[in-house]
Amino acid sequence: LRADHILLLWLIILSLIFQFVCVGGSPNRMKAFAQFMHKELGLEGDAKDMSDICAGTDRYSMYKVGPVLSISHGMGVPSISIMLHELIKLLHHAKCCDVTIIRIGTSGGLGIEPGSVVITDIAVDSFFKPQFEQVILDNVVVRSTELDQDLANELLKCSREIEDFPTLIGHTMCTDDFYEGQGRLDGALCSFSNEKKLEYLKRAYDAGVRNIEMESTVFAAMCRLCGLKAAVVCVTLLDRLEGDQITASHEVLVEYQRRPQQLISMFIKKHLGLWNQTELLDKELV
């Protein structure tokens, strides 16, 4: 297909009553989320046959599940920034209104139990400042990274109905690097001691940071500027105050990664008026 044909196809698909856009780093995880939502929404057909709308490109994967769009964005600020620019333009041209966009993913925790789900209130940079610095031409433009507080509180309220895992609201620190940028000692390069690392991470904790990842600042800044209701919901795979490497088993990590999906599924079903219906159906089956 020509580029203009692909754009037209996207516009047609996106205009079909999209209310929720969920984004995450891994293509496989976002496909799994799409299949999970297919089941949760009780849609017809086999979720295994779900096709990637962007299969003809290597940029990112995209799946349509009823009123939900599930998209991968890769790792880091540059990668998610590209996806967001193109996604937001498509939502605009498709005349989608009142869209809620949520980033779901994994992160390193700070002073909280592994497997905890953190709902971000403010994304901060490596200096614990609630801002995103964008270099435009030869100017540094500073943008706010505050997220929708009403949405964060609504998600927290939803989480109270899930007893399987702890959920909290806190600051999320976004870094430019996974290793030195996050104070890790196990990378190819390391220019600081364990004592310096812990001193930095404890200062981050005291500043309100509860988890660390690599996309939240640009996500928050762009969504805020474009008037989109946005949230970041990430599970923590370890407590960085206790170490740098993940020690949980593969099975445990897979279960951890499902936790944000469970919360977002409940949130979406509540908004669609499906949550009580699902509860009644479950009781009838029992």
Q: Residues comprising the binding site? A: 59, 103-106, 182, 184
Give SS3 for 258. Answer: helix
- 203: region left, alpha or beta (phi > 0 left; psi from -120 to 50 alpha): alpha
Annotated binding site for phosphate: 59, 103-106
Contact 241, 110 (CB under 8 A): yes
Give SS3 for 86. Answer: helix
Tokens of 119: 């709902």
- Angle, CA 269 vertex, CA 268 and CA 273 arms, to 5°: 120
Annotated binding site for substrate: 182, 184
The candidate with the shortest Cα–Cα distance to 149, out of 97, 220, 85, 71, is 220
Helices and strands (H and E) in the chain: how many: 8, 10
Cα(182)–Cα(169) distance, rounded to whole angstroms? 21
